Amino acid sequence: MRVLVVEDDAAVSYWIGAKLNGSGHACRFAGDGEGALRLLAEEAFDVVVLDRMLPTLDGMEVLKRLHGTRHPPVLVLSALDETSDRVAGLRAGADDYLGKPFDFAELLVRLEHLARRHGRAAAPGDVLTVSDLVMDVPERRVTRRGVAIDLTDKEFKLLHILMSNPGQTVTRNMLLEKAWGYGFNPQTNLVEVHVFKLRGKIDKDFDPPLLRTIRAIGYALG
């Protein structure tokens, strides 16, 4: 799943994101209602985790503004957990409501249920993440910190191989075999040329650099 977490408490936001990433899902974050609406207008998500008490626009106002628009399902996550609070949230347009404190396992099950109910949730491997680099494989979309990165077909294939093996050394011959197929001269500099261009796109203007050269062997990402 690709999840938008809207939460102004940085510690809570980081914890949810770490747990979701550890479960194989990709996250984007917004700390206020205006930021959430902006991301929802710019990017595609499977589901939204929305806190009620937010700066600029609170969660209820966000739901109000989403009403009548095409948007992913929204789970409200709030310390306001009286029956009247839950009813108000659901009436405002939330698809589900979970009170704080909460158990992550329950949150994850609810999010997966919402994603399945409202459309196909991303299958394992559909969305790959390495640090803040995200690849949506079916959509052939790559972003870093939310910034779209335009890749050629070969650059996309090379990055897919590297992101499928995060932190591991991928040999030059493996990249040749998987991206170009058999029959290429192992002395060719095709890999070096394309990796050089790829590095310029995914690491330029970003910190820290993710793509590392493993001398005389190959490359590693992350």
Question: Does 78 share its domain with 105?
Answer: yes
Encode pLDDT of 88-105 as tens digits.
999 999 999 999 988 999
Check which CATH number belongs to the domain holding 182 and give it: 1.10.10.10
Question: Does 96 share its domain with 192?
Answer: no
Q: Looking at residues 109-128, what average pLDDT do you find?
A: 75
- The tokens 């194989």 sit on which residue? 24
* pTM for the whole structure: 0.57
Domain end (from 54, 83, 117): 117
Encode pLDDT of 69-79 as tens digits.
888 999 999 99
Q: Is the distance from CB of 45 to CB of 67 less than 8 angstroms? A: no
Question: Does 111 share its domain with 133?
Answer: no
Residue 158 is assigned to a structural domain of this protein? yes
Question: Does 148 share its domain with 46?
Answer: no
Residue 204 is assigned to a structural domain of this protein? yes
And the tokens for 143? 């972003």
User: What's residue 122's pLDDT?
Assistant: 53
Residue 81 is assigned to a structural domain of this protein? yes
Residue 131 is assigned to a structural domain of this protein? yes
Specify whether the backbone of 128 is left (phi greater than 0), alpha (psi in -120 to 50) or beta.
beta
Q: Is the distance from CB of 201 to CB of 148 less than 8 angstroms? A: no
Domain end (from 82, 117, 152): 117
Question: Does 92 share its domain with 148?
Answer: no
And the tokens for 23? 């479960």
Residue 122 is assigned to a structural domain of this protein? no
- Dihedrals phi, psi of 15, to nearest 5 degrees: -65, -45
Encode pLDDT of 211-221 as tens digits.
999 998 999 99
Question: Does 112 share its domain with 20?
Answer: yes
Question: Does 113 share its domain with 7?
Answer: yes
Number of domains composing the chain: 2
Domain end (from 117, 148, 180): 117
* Residue 112, pLDDT above cutoff 80: yes
Domain that holds residue 159: 127-221
Residue 182 is assigned to a structural domain of this protein? yes
Check which CATH number belongs to the domain holding 38 and give it: 3.40.50.2300
